[in-house]
Structure 1
Amino acid sequence: MARFIVLILFSLNLYSQIKLDGKVDAAEWQNSEKYTLDYEIEPSYNGPAEHKTEAFVKHDDSYLYVAFKAYGNKDYIRAQVRSRDSVRWSNDITIVGIDTYGDGRYYIGFGVNPLGSIHDFKRIGNGEPDSSYNVEFEGEGRLTDFGYEVEMKIPFSSLIFPEVEKQEWKLMFFRKLYNRAQESRYLSHPVIAGAGCSICQSNITYNLFNIEKKQKRRLIPSFTANSLSNRDSEGNLKSESINSEVSLGGDFEIFGSNFEFTLNPDFSQIEADETKIDINQTTALQFEERRIFFNEGKDYLSSRLDAVYTRAINDPEYAIKFFNRGEKHSYFFLDAKDRNTPLIVPGEQRSYSALLGESNSNIFSYNYNLGKGQNLGFLATNRTYEEGGFGRLYSAKGKFLLSDKYSTYFEIAQSSTEEPISDLITTTNESDKYNYLLDGESFDGTAAQFNLNRNTEKWETKYRFETKSPEFRTDLGFTTENNWLAHELSQSYQYRSNNFIRKANMGGSLSLLTNYDNNILDQEAELFFNADFSNQINLDLGIERSNKATFEGFAFHNIDSFRTGVRYNPSGKFFIRFNYDYGDAIARNISTPELGKRTNYTIGGFYQVNDRIRVRYNYRYNKLENTLTNENYFAGYLTTIRGLYQFDKNSFIRVVQEYNDFNDNGYTQLLFQWQPNSATIFYFGGTFNQEDIEGTWEIESSQIYMKFQYLFNFD
């Protein structure tokens, strides 16, 4: 009889319908599993949560349903209508973390703010969450008399899990709130620093029996069109004919493995990358990966040696990837044919770049899971060029927990290079054994990293050793400098309280950087202090001294640098920050390097006019002057203003105006975006590039573009 009653209750839980409206109705959720968030992990260390938060979980044969009831804090709730993944900043939010394997290697987070705007991410171990990760799920929320409540509906097809009769998923529940305007973070379990990833430490297991794992069957066609305008030799602005293309992508599960492909993809950046100041930079700049195709499987490619940088696959005719997550063994394979291939050639304290023709790229990764976020892995990459030559890399890595306090990480890599033949790099610089020209030279290189960490409630100690030999390259990665060995030792102390200083972190580090000829490239000491105050002010201070720094054979001594940063975020409507850096710096982009005086500062912030209108502003100023003549090696600024109107959580219109004083140019961008799910996107907009000619703004070029991508889901 008892078993019969349990079966009836289980059936009610399995098949009861949830109306996704943000209202946590008692009748809908009466048979759910209930959890509470009892621990404040920020700013206190596993202290008692002041306000009650309840989480509810149930499922049917296709979906996992999650709800939160967040009590208290009503007058301080921060919530605006935001587009996907924008709510993680300056908003209250509740998040469920799901680890379908229970060992930390596949931790997906799903979050909803009080107005129903959503956020999803993937976290690998204790690393930063990857917010570019998007999968299918729905969320709704609403404000209430007691605070707010939210509901989520997560398809099983959006998750990867083992094909077993009994599923044992680890869950964790998280809430960020502004308790009396002070940011706090609650969790459903205590977290011990140094004891592995946070979800690995969760004591919540949610069991599911005999759920049907639907095989993914998705097609993602897209259509793009753009029209370019440029000035001809006579100075007239001429428009080119409209260029349009059709692309097709797909995502399928085959016998428990995932297969994705894309044909003729539009990998252009609709949203411009944030402009970076590179006037004194001697190496290539790295930008964030935003392209949907590289969304799933990025964790397979993680490397602290930057062995893989997916934006090195630039303009492919096609790309395919195949991956599988097993209980112990996981593997990943990618193949792509690129029409225009970027190549970075690293040197000592400089890099050189070229855009070559066609190439073929392959990546293979294997990981052996050891539990609690521990693993052993192997990675191999290969790129062959139409101009001849290749770049290959083989690496092994591992992460281990030695105790509740100690952890270690290692990675070793070997590269094998046969250069293509091209005249696109013309430098006369060269290393001891080879030059940086693309002239068919062949060589092998090595790289390695070793980390040892000790973490407790208040203390953190880190030691890092890393090296890249003069011959080491990563044609599919992001290595901009080689011929160096680095040692770094750091110690920090963390203070927490409920007083005026809520949280403070202070410490220092020592580092030594040499080349393979044992010449010191940098010998540096640093002291730092960071504090969060109860009035929502954050203060950051730092002092650095390089006893000796060498650049291209020129040695400089006693190089001092100071930094000050202040952030103020009193409400969800207003945020401002000010950073000021000054001291000594080497002028690198002149024929003979010299030591000058540096002054950098940044002013930025936003103002939320109402729930839908937001204005952001950013001003960055950089100057380096000669200490004897007071003449500037360079001086200039970048200023950017962004205005956004959010129609609803799926669509917005944005205007961006940027001016670059270094180049006397700028651009205006107007963009409309509609994104109702993870892969259906409609863009329409234009970018107008302007040049400041004797105080008169003239449009030098423009682009009008449109993209429509649609997800056909046959799961």
Structure 2
Amino acid sequence: MKSFFSLVVVFICCFGYSQKKSLTTQFTTEKITIDGKFDEGAWLKADVAKDFVMWMPDNGKAEPKETRTEVRVTYDNEAVYFAATMYDNEPTKILKELSQRDNSGTADRVGVFINGYNDGQQEFSFILSAAGVQEDFLFTESNGEDSSWNAIWEGKTQITDFGWTAEIKIPYAALRFSSEKKQTWGINFIRDFKRARAFYSWNLIDNKINSRGNQEGVLNGIENIKTPTRLFLIPYSSFYLNSNANQKTKGDLKGGVDIKYGINDAFTLDAILVPDFGQTTFDNVILNLGPFEQQFNENRPFFTEGTELFSKGDLFYSRRIGGSPTIYPDLFSNESFTEYPAKVNLLNALKISGRTKNGLGIGVLNAVTEKTEAIITNDITGTTRKALIEPLANYNVFVLDQRFRKNSSVSFINTNVTRNGDGRDGNVSALLFDLNTKKNTYNLSGDYKYSFVNGLGVENKKGYSSSINIGETSGKFQYGAGAEYISKEFDKDDMGIQFQSNYHSFYSNGSYRILNPTKTFNMFNIYVNLYSEFDNRSGRIQQGMMNFNLNSMTKKNNYYGGGFNARPIKTYDFYEPRTQNQSRFLKIPEVINAYFFYSSNYNNRFAFEFNPSYGIANEKGRIGYGLSISPRYRFSDHFSLNFNFDFSQQNNNIGYVGDNSVSNEIFMGRRDRSTYINTLQGKFTINSDMNFNLSLRHYLSYATYNQYYSLQNDGSIVPTSNYTENSNSNFNAWNLDLSYSWWFAPGSQVSILYRNNAALFENEFKRDLGNNFQKVIDKNNLNHVFSISVRYFIDYNSLKK
């Protein structure tokens, strides 16, 4: 124990310093018009950030004079302003593809990274393409770039005879900083010179160090600013028309309001009243034959924007809020469900987040979902009754995150779900630490988590989980090792998502990368990983994998890569048997998989990706292979199409099919599975504020069983005739979204969406791609939705004026 604390002290106390550039800005009373022309006198007085150096691929190389970058900064009581000049000796070749917000496409870009606390750990990033398309994201060392974060800011560009220019206005409402009269911000500027596939930064971002946030320069000069009240209202109204072959066309009008309020310059409250998520992206549902639920991406803006604090500790899976009901009521004889809601309605939600001047981050998220009932009908008498499937519930996340020394943190997180009445309640707490040496050479991180679950007539469950990781995080060669322990009763599923428990694991990894281009490669890295996992009860090994991956980019900016993973020993699967009997398991044979990928330079009008894979198990006829092909074509700066075809095949795979509760027999099946996924993405962009988008997906996956088996107590299987059900599965899904979006004012948007979708599940089917496609898009299966949504951004200060 003494040696452990000594190691912690070393991590906290190691010192080392790097030279940082600094820039001083001045206050202006002159009105700055955002037009990309720089014709205000304030720009003549502003200091210039220049002498950029290459970030990637040739790290540290000076920016050529003929393609140099210069940035000026000024500010007033409302915002901070930036004027950037990107010189280019071939301005007719500047790439400037138009696209929707947060997707710059194939275009040159300039960006501003701002850290209002200068603590090296969080950047508010604002990027503008040469076509005038905005991108913004929140960057943290733990989560990387979170592009779901959106802010209200302005930016305009001009193509000139010497290159291009960008003028940017970032209101203080889009930033977080202390209340000090004299501000010192961390800042960096970047240029993405797309034609050369080169990134430049004002302050050097040293690739030898795996830490970007603490390699900013310094912005001085912002003093005594009188920031306006940060109160924003975003009322919305939406109209939906729904129809299908089984019901008449039905209209639905919705309305509500989002509220954003700056409690002070550091803390913000976000609230949604009467939420409407009807225009969010569809979920890519699959045929799930495994023992674990499918995890979906979060597409609802409230739960994706500014949630970095709440994601710490991996305890928060926002799809639980307003997700599927948690109670399945009993049916009596001759009864059936006539109405069973698939989702629980969200009534309201709010979040408060921010950080004090001493580096303490505080976050609170709270949401309430409504009581939900199913309708059950007696098939003989016709009488109906209601059954509770989800009580009124409150979801809460509380976070404290103390940062120190600009690159380390200690955090406390608590998640709590309280359901009314006898519903299941869950509470999970976690303590985390992430410690780095001053030069970001070594990292020590870990956590301790505790869970408590009660309700629904079950005994209270108390469990815990803990992990630790140590590694070198700088230079060409890097390495790390770690371990994790999860007890049998640890359960975070009420607010998070958990697939396994009751195991312990060990892992190690090593990597090599080039830091500067060679004669052959612009980028080259190799990664090796060893992972082993053991069941806590029996000590049997659940996983024993070796992984090797190689990635490279040639001098022509084409990507090549490949790798393999191998499990050289038999393992034991305690989850596939789907039983409460913790001693049952399925033996899994040895396996080896390999893959290759190629991705051509996206600067070309035509580009494509190619990714084949193959795997074989130590069992006769048990193989798997797949192929992914993705061609894309940019017809113009306004119009492009991307197509992707994915095919995968599994032969003689083994999986659960059923059980007999009387005899306690568990049945497995040997199956062949084929999966086809066709997707098409298209966009036509009129200008940086107006665009059309097309997204369609056809998913087909079917599994046919060749033989059924009885699972033995030693994990082996023997043929059986006791199982006679048809477990063949065919899932056929279609989704099409065609949308028009117009940002008619900052933060204000009109969206028009046409969507049709269908999903079919069958046990009897034809194994034919064309036949299944025709069946799923049949007019009797399609659901049609037409919707119009208007959101309007209102600044309280504008109302005062």
TM-score band, normalised by the shorter chain? 0.7 to 0.9
In the alignment, the residues of structure 2 paired with residue 670 and residue 687 of structure 1 have an alpha-carbon distance, to the nearest angstrom, of 6
Does the 8 A contact of 1:191 with 1:198 survive in 2? Answer: yes
CA displacement at 1:532 relative to structure 2: 0.4
Which has the larger Rg? 2
Aligned to 1:568: 600
Aligned to 2:533: 513
* Paired residue type of 2:698: Y
CA displacement at 1:78 relative to structure 2: 2.4
**1:607 maps to which of 633, 637, 658:** 633
CA displacement at 1:251 relative to structure 2: 1.2
Note the 1:51-66 alignment, pairs <5 A.
51-66=67-82
- Is 1:655 aligned with 2:694? yes
CA displacement at 1:208 relative to structure 2: 0.5
- Is 1:551 aligned with 2:577? no
- Is 1:336 aligned with 2:367? yes
- Is 1:711 aligned with 2:725? no
CA displacement at 1:542 relative to structure 2: 0.4
CA displacement at 1:570 relative to structure 2: 4.8
Q: Secondary structure at the match of 2:319?
A: helix
Note the 1:276-675 alignment, pairs <5 A.
277-303=286-312, 305-314=313-322, 315-328=345-358, 329-339=360-370, 356-386=390-420, 387-404=422-439, 405-419=441-455, 421=456, 439-474=457-492, 475-495=494-514, 496-517=516-537, 518-548=539-569, 549-552=571-574, 553-571=585-603, 573-584=605-616, 596-626=622-652, 633-662=672-701, 663-675=731-743
In the alignment, the residues of structure 2 paired with residue 16 and residue 102 of structure 1 have an alpha-carbon distance, to the nearest angstrom, of 28
Q: Secondary structure at the match of 1:266?
A: coil
In the alignment, the residues of structure 2 paired with residue 309 and residue 194 of structure 1 have an alpha-carbon distance, to the nearest angstrom, of 34
In the alignment, the residues of structure 2 paired with residue 33 and residue 594 of structure 1 have an alpha-carbon distance, to the nearest angstrom, of 72
- Is 1:202 aligned with 2:216? yes
CA displacement at 1:308 relative to structure 2: 0.8
In the alignment, the residues of structure 2 paired with residue 583 and residue 528 of structure 1 have an alpha-carbon distance, to the nearest angstrom, of 15
In the alignment, the residues of structure 2 paired with residue 130 and residue 228 of structure 1 have an alpha-carbon distance, to the nearest angstrom, of 33
CA displacement at 1:640 relative to structure 2: 1.2
Shifted more, 378-387 versus 107-116: the winner is 378-387
CA displacement at 1:594 relative to structure 2: 9.7
- Is 1:259 aligned with 2:269? yes
In the alignment, the residues of structure 2 paired with residue 28 and residue 498 of structure 1 have an alpha-carbon distance, to the nearest angstrom, of 44
In the alignment, the residues of structure 2 paired with residue 11 and residue 452 of structure 1 have an alpha-carbon distance, to the nearest angstrom, of 41
Does the 8 A contact of 1:37 with 1:173 survive in 2? Answer: no
Does the 8 A contact of 1:669 with 1:686 survive in 2? Answer: yes
Seen in structure 2, the aligned counterparts of structure 1 residues 53 and 584 have a Cα distance that, compared at 3 Å, is same
Seen in structure 2, the aligned counterparts of structure 1 residues 38 and 670 have a Cα distance that, compared at 3 Å, is closer
Q: Secondary structure at the match of 1:698?
A: coil
Seen in structure 2, the aligned counterparts of structure 1 residues 525 and 594 have a Cα distance that, compared at 3 Å, is same
CA displacement at 1:75 relative to structure 2: 5.8
TM-score scaled to structure 1, two decimals?
0.86
* Paired residue type of 2:156: E
Does the 8 A contact of 1:324 with 1:330 survive in 2? Answer: yes
In the TM superposition, what whole-angstrom CA distance separates every residue of 1:199-227 from its partner, at most 9, and x where no partner exists?
Answer: 32223223301001222111122222223
Seen in structure 2, the aligned counterparts of structure 1 residues 79 and 454 have a Cα distance that, compared at 3 Å, is same
CA displacement at 1:279 relative to structure 2: 4.0
**2:99 maps to which of 56, 66, 82:** 82
Does the 8 A contact of 2:120 with 2:215 survive in 1? Answer: no
* Paired residue type of 1:639: N
* Paired residue type of 2:367: A
CA displacement at 1:380 relative to structure 2: 0.8
CA displacement at 1:529 relative to structure 2: 1.1
In the alignment, the residues of structure 2 paired with residue 19 and residue 572 of structure 1 have an alpha-carbon distance, to the nearest angstrom, of 35
CA displacement at 1:357 relative to structure 2: 4.2
In the alignment, the residues of structure 1 paired with residue 183 and residue 50 of structure 2 have an alpha-carbon distance, to the nearest angstrom, of 22
In the alignment, the residues of structure 1 paired with residue 699 and residue 645 of structure 2 have an alpha-carbon distance, to the nearest angstrom, of 10
- Is 1:106 aligned with 2:115? no
* Paired residue type of 2:350: I
Does the 8 A contact of 1:194 with 1:406 survive in 2? Answer: no
CA displacement at 1:693 relative to structure 2: 6.1
Seen in structure 2, the aligned counterparts of structure 1 residues 146 and 462 have a Cα distance that, compared at 3 Å, is farther
* Paired residue type of 1:524: M
Seen in structure 2, the aligned counterparts of structure 1 residues 477 and 102 have a Cα distance that, compared at 3 Å, is same
Gaps of 5+ in 2: 1-23, 323-344, 374-387, 575-584, 655-669, 702-730, 761-770
CA displacement at 1:146 relative to structure 2: 2.7
CA displacement at 1:416 relative to structure 2: 0.5
* Paired residue type of 2:244: N
In the alignment, the residues of structure 1 paired with residue 366 and residue 140 of structure 2 have an alpha-carbon distance, to the nearest angstrom, of 24
CA displacement at 1:503 relative to structure 2: 1.2
Seen in structure 2, the aligned counterparts of structure 1 residues 12 and 679 have a Cα distance that, compared at 3 Å, is closer
Aligned to 1:35: 49
CA displacement at 1:27 relative to structure 2: 4.5
CA displacement at 1:393 relative to structure 2: 0.7
Q: Secondary structure at the match of 2:600?
A: strand
* Paired residue type of 1:284: E
Seen in structure 2, the aligned counterparts of structure 1 residues 626 and 84 have a Cα distance that, compared at 3 Å, is same
CA displacement at 1:546 relative to structure 2: 0.6
Q: Secondary structure at the match of 2:214?
A: helix
Q: Secondary structure at the match of 2:483?
A: strand
Seen in structure 2, the aligned counterparts of structure 1 residues 689 and 340 have a Cα distance that, compared at 3 Å, is farther
* Paired residue type of 2:787: Y
* Paired residue type of 2:474: T
In the TM superposition, what whole-angstrom CA distance separates every residue of 1:545-601 from its partner, at most 9, and x where no partner exists?
Answer: 112332232223431000111100252533311111210369xxxxxx998211122
Seen in structure 2, the aligned counterparts of structure 1 residues 286 and 194 have a Cα distance that, compared at 3 Å, is farther
In the alignment, the residues of structure 2 paired with residue 263 and residue 667 of structure 1 have an alpha-carbon distance, to the nearest angstrom, of 29
In the alignment, the residues of structure 2 paired with residue 192 and residue 695 of structure 1 have an alpha-carbon distance, to the nearest angstrom, of 54
CA displacement at 1:170 relative to structure 2: 1.1
Seen in structure 2, the aligned counterparts of structure 1 residues 225 and 469 have a Cα distance that, compared at 3 Å, is farther
CA displacement at 1:91 relative to structure 2: 2.7
CA displacement at 1:464 relative to structure 2: 3.0
Seen in structure 2, the aligned counterparts of structure 1 residues 79 and 282 have a Cα distance that, compared at 3 Å, is farther
Does the 8 A contact of 1:615 with 1:641 survive in 2? Answer: yes
Q: Secondary structure at the match of 1:298?
A: coil
Does the 8 A contact of 1:641 with 1:657 survive in 2? Answer: yes
CA displacement at 1:678 relative to structure 2: 6.5
Seen in structure 2, the aligned counterparts of structure 1 residues 480 and 174 have a Cα distance that, compared at 3 Å, is same
CA displacement at 1:276 relative to structure 2: 5.4
Does the 8 A contact of 1:446 with 1:471 survive in 2? Answer: yes
- Percent of pairs identical after alignment? 20
In the TM superposition, what whole-angstrom CA distance separates every residue of 1:308-355 from its partner, at most 9, and x where no partner exists?
Answer: 12222223211122233201222121221113799xxxxxxxxxxx97
In the alignment, the residues of structure 2 paired with residue 323 and residue 130 of structure 1 have an alpha-carbon distance, to the nearest angstrom, of 16
Note the 1:159-308 alignment, pairs <5 A.
159-178=175-194, 181-192=195-206, 197-232=211-246, 238-256=247-265, 257-273=267-283, 275=284, 277-303=286-312, 305-308=313-316
* Paired residue type of 1:467: Y
**1:131 maps to which of 140, 147, 154:** 147
CA displacement at 1:173 relative to structure 2: 0.8
Does the 8 A contact of 1:418 with 1:443 survive in 2? Answer: yes
Q: RMSD of aligned C-alpha atoms?
A: 2.7
In the alignment, the residues of structure 2 paired with residue 627 and residue 332 of structure 1 have an alpha-carbon distance, to the nearest angstrom, of 46
- Is 1:698 aligned with 2:732? no
CA displacement at 1:516 relative to structure 2: 1.3
CA displacement at 1:267 relative to structure 2: 3.0
Does the 8 A contact of 1:504 with 1:531 survive in 2? Answer: yes
